Amino acid sequence: MLNASDILRGYTDTIILAQLREKDNYGYQISKSVADISGGVLELKEGTLYTTFRRLENTGLIESYWGDEQAGARRRYYRLTEKGRETLKDNLEDWKRYASLLERILSREV
């Protein structure tokens, strides 16, 4: 049976890029947002999250910087680059195409 981590594996990059589409953010908040939006079904584990951040940064899809926190710990924020916006757009188009194909395949009666 397919579980949430199997589904996430192929879309982690796109999920993170989509979370950065509206505003810069930091790891914990991105993880919390994904969990909240999915009703707790999808969870980005810390190891996966930071490995993905490094990969996205190394490929020029995101940039990071240290936030200026007045209270509490400093946080590393991430922002989408123009290349990241283009990649997100392409990935979302691919997602729509494959979701439509899968819907057709899986909805057929056996």
Q: pLDDT by residue (tens digit) across 16-38?
A: 999 999 999 999 999 999 999 99
64 contact partners, CB below 8 Å, separation of at least 6: 53, 57, 76, 77, 78, 79
pTM score, whole prediction: 0.87
pLDDT value at 96 more than 70: yes
Residue 11 φ/ψ, nearest 5 degrees: -125, 10
Query: What domains are there in the chain, each with its CATH number?
Result: 4-106 (1.10.10.10)
41 bridge partner residues: none
Under DSSP, the state recorded for 108 is S
